[in-house]
Amino acid sequence: MTNLHFIKVAAAALNQTPMDWRGNRNRIVEAINRARGEGIQVLCLPELCISGYGCEDAFHGESVAEQALQCLQSILPETRGMAVAVGLPILHGGDLFNGAALLVNGEPAGVVAKQLLAGYGVYYEPRWFKPWPAGSSGLCRIAGREVPIGDLVFDLDGVSIGFEICEDAWGRGQSASSGSRAHLLLNPSASHFAFGKHETLKGIVVEGSRAAHSVYLYANLLGNESGRLIYDGTAMIASNGRLVAESRRFSFDDISFASAIVDLRSNRLDRRRLLYPPPAGEPDRCTVSVPFTLIEPSLEAVRAQRAGSDMRRDPHLPAVAMSEGLSPFEEFSRAVSLGLWDYMRKSGNRGLVVSLSGGVDSGTVAILAWMMTRLAVAELGWERMRDKLNYFGDWDASGAEPPVDLTARLLTTVYQATANSSATTRKAASSLAQHLGCRHLELDVEPLVQAYEQLAEKALHRKLDWATDDTARQNIQARVRAPGIWLLANLEGRLLVSTSNRSEVGVGYCTMDGDTSGGLAPIAGANKTFLRNWLRWIEVSGLEELGPIPAVGAINSQAPTAELRPLHQGQTDEDDLMPYPVLDAIEQAAIRDRMSPVEVWRHMLATPLPGIDLDAAEAAGYVERFFRLWSRTQWKRERLAPSFHLDDENLDPKTWCRFPILSGGYETELEALRTAVAEAGQATGEGKHRRSDAARGKPTMTRVK
């Protein structure tokens, strides 16, 4: 037994794909080889990185676990001279467990099984896995050998290694951590991106190292792994309550490292001085002794690290500003552009197509697609980017520089005009497209609108009129735009991207088979207020390495409008619905915070919104409108294209917010709201107050079918 002073360790984030056995294995091996080249002794890789985290119900089939085990066996020889933790599903006793295997010097040392399973929000682990009982262990078979499985601690040359697998750390205190007394705590994770979550996660890592006086290695997944969730690629190392290394977040590379030389002796000193005795009743854990000699880094390497910075970046990536402390606008830009990149290439599409109307939503999607291209080539370089897109088959293989029309090759925008389209939106769309450098097309779909209306008039034996047929005439304009742009996307093997946002999805202010058409809805998790503010930021600031986009001013200067009624009517979205800040505040209270209509109404009266003054009746009208539209348009949310999860206010019924398609429509609750409003008016002596739009007879919904 040695008494190591220093040891070099690393955590690596990986961009994996469910059941991509060859690709997942190759990226794992590449990470191991990179680590070996840096003299890493212990490497932590992400949760379920062999199979992919998002296998969903494919986990129920035995073949996934069997393939994962075969892949693990092929990785074993690559770990000679190192200790490597890899995540995989593993069958034991007829049940499936979420495991982390420790591979040491080419041999399996054992498998730690996850104790706390995430079964909330976007997570459904109890559907597939069984939780491992604390303090117990058994035997499983890997590569022809029986090895321990369960709640384990590994002893390598006097250095103990324990595990917290993702939720085991988030639920710390609910069950005893298998590694609470370990010198090295490894956390293989698959923790999805959400606004502001990174700082919370960092606190968990730092506190885990402080409480145990240990070195804590955290490795997350990276990128858009399986469609809806985006992983920021965080890899972190903390020692005794201090963060000492962090990877680059939102990397377009397949692997993102954090590595550091850590001081085990100082941690042992604090452990002897300060560590509390284990609580009564804490289960005994099986300690697995592994014959392996750890090698200390040279004193020159220790001095070199100390002479530089305690914060180490992945040496394989270009130097960039630290990603910690990113604003929500920066996180949104980097997360969604990375999500688009992975979705496009993993689905085998040859680019993106956006119906660019000259408004907020389509402009946002087009800019994010442009960011995708610019950020990918800036980080990867043209040759590596080209290699990732080699499925195109017709990329020019010559030259070390990207082609000048790179964005045009990957992004096509299309403005589709009807008689109700304005010169303002047409110019806004063309100006933005010109700035982005994408291929921009203009189509006149008015003849198609007229043809469908004439068919209906002939069948019904009457003329269509705006006074009686408003919603239907608006919807047909949105719907006729879909077949043509689908045709363009199909002809060139591209992905049509929907432009639906969360605010309008919540009340059904969208046309099914019209503006909702597409294979991906990247901004359906962001509300309109956020998107409008983001575009203002893009106009004057933007990402540091890309700069502002002044052309966005043509969008920001407009009032959002669907442009589906005759221009002289001056249609705006907020006239059709309500002010977007009001809509977003009501949605948050009603859906995120689960308030009843009366509670939402009282909340709105007690919560001032900048520049908006609502009286009791007006607030009640907006609240009632929201609940009616929400309950009658759940079927639309069920039919939306896959959307990215950006925060814990998502409305996606597939991953976050379930609601019945058929319901009572809050009739009883809305009656209680009207009673409360009347009683409040009588109590305050308000004989007169402004009537809400609903009371004045304005349209309470459009484009809802």
Question: 421-468 pLDDT, tens per residue?
Answer: 999 999 999 999 999 999 999 999 999 999 999 999 999 999 999 999
Instruction: Tell me the Cα Rg of the chain.
Output: 28
State the pLDDT confidence band at 276, using cuts at 50, 70 and 90.
low
pLDDT given for residue 2 in this prediction: 58
Residues 285 and 149 in one domain: yes
309 vs 508, which has greater pLDDT? 508
Give how far the C-alpha of residue 346 lies from the chain's centroid of Cα atoms, to the nearest Å. 16
Residues 345 and 299 in one domain: no
Residue 284 lies in a domain: yes
Residues 23 and 168 in one domain: yes
The overall average pLDDT reported for the chain is 91
Q: Which two tokens stand for residue 425?
A: 């939106």
Question: 277-315 pLDDT, tens per residue?
Answer: 665 556 667 899 999 999 888 888 888 887 765 444 443
Residues 238 and 366 in one domain: no
Ranges 81-90, 164-173, 507-516, 604-613: which has the least confidence: 164-173
Domain that holds residue 645: 328-684
In which residue are the tokens 């200067």 written? Answer: 557
Sign of CA dihedral 89, 92, 96, 98: negative
CA–CA distance, 19 with 378 (Å, rounded to integer) = 29
Residue 705, classified by CB atoms within 10 Å of its CB into exposed (0-12), middle (13-18) or buried (19+), is middle
Is the pLDDT reported for residue 321 higher than 50?
A: no
Residue 100 lies in a domain: yes
CA–CA distance, 364 with 358 (Å, rounded to integer) = 10
Q: Which two tokens stand for residue 319?
A: 């130097």
How many DSSP H helices and E strands does the chain contain?
23, 21
Domains contained in the chain, number: 2
Is the pLDDT reported for residue 319 higher than 50?
A: no
pLDDT given for residue 645 in this prediction: 95
State the pLDDT confidence band at 679, using cuts at 50, 70 and 90.
very high
Q: Which helix (H) or strand (E) holds 554?
A: helix 553-556
Q: What percent of the chain has pLDDT over 90?
A: 81
pLDDT given for residue 274 in this prediction: 73
Mean pLDDT of 101-124: 95
CATH of the domain at 256: 3.60.110.10
Residues 365 and 506 in one domain: yes
Give how far the C-alpha of residue 193 lies from the chain's centroid of Cα atoms, to the nearest Å. 5
Question: What predicted TM-score, i.e. pTM, was given to this entire model?
Answer: 0.92
CA–CA distance, 630 with 662 (Å, rounded to integer) = 11
Mean pLDDT of 637-666: 94
Q: Which residues, 6+ apart, have CB-to-CB distance to 31 below 8 Å?
A: 12, 14, 43, 45, 255, 257
Residues 253 and 370 in one domain: no
CA–CA distance, 322 with 258 (Å, rounded to integer) = 13
Residue 672 lies in a domain: yes
Question: 324-347 pLDDT, tens per residue?
Answer: 579 999 999 999 999 999 999 999
Angle, helices 446-460 vs 466-491, to 10°: value is 130
Residues 542 and 494 in one domain: yes
CATH of the domain at 517: 3.40.50.620
CA distance between the termini of the chain: 72
Is the pLDDT reported for residue 22 higher than 80?
A: yes
Mean pLDDT of 57-73: 97
Residue 333 lies in a domain: yes
pLDDT given for residue 320 in this prediction: 32
Q: Please give the C-alpha separations between residue 216 and each of 185, 303, 621, in angstroms, as whole numbers.
A: 5, 22, 53
pLDDT given for residue 690 in this prediction: 38
Residue 286 lies in a domain: yes
The residues facing 545 across adjacent strands are none
Residue 705 lies in a domain: no
User: What DSSP string describes 105-166?
Assistant: TTEEEEEEE-SS---STT--HHHH-PPPPTT-EEEEEETTEEEEEESEEEEETTEEEEE--T
Residues 275 and 363 in one domain: no
Q: Which residues, 6+ apart, have CB-to-CB distance to 65 below 8 Å?
A: 51, 59, 88, 89, 90, 91, 96
CA–CA distance, 458 with 39 (Å, rounded to integer) = 78
Is the pLDDT reported for residue 179 higher than 70?
A: no
Q: Please give the C-alpha separations between residue 86 and each of 99, 193, 229, 509, in angstroms, as whole numbers.
A: 8, 21, 21, 45
Give how far the C-alpha of residue 444 lies from the chain's centroid of Cα atoms, to the nearest Å. 36
Q: What percent of the chain has pLDDT over 70?
A: 91
Residue 699 lies in a domain: no
Is the pLDDT reported for residue 559 higher than 60?
A: yes
Residues 474 and 396 in one domain: yes
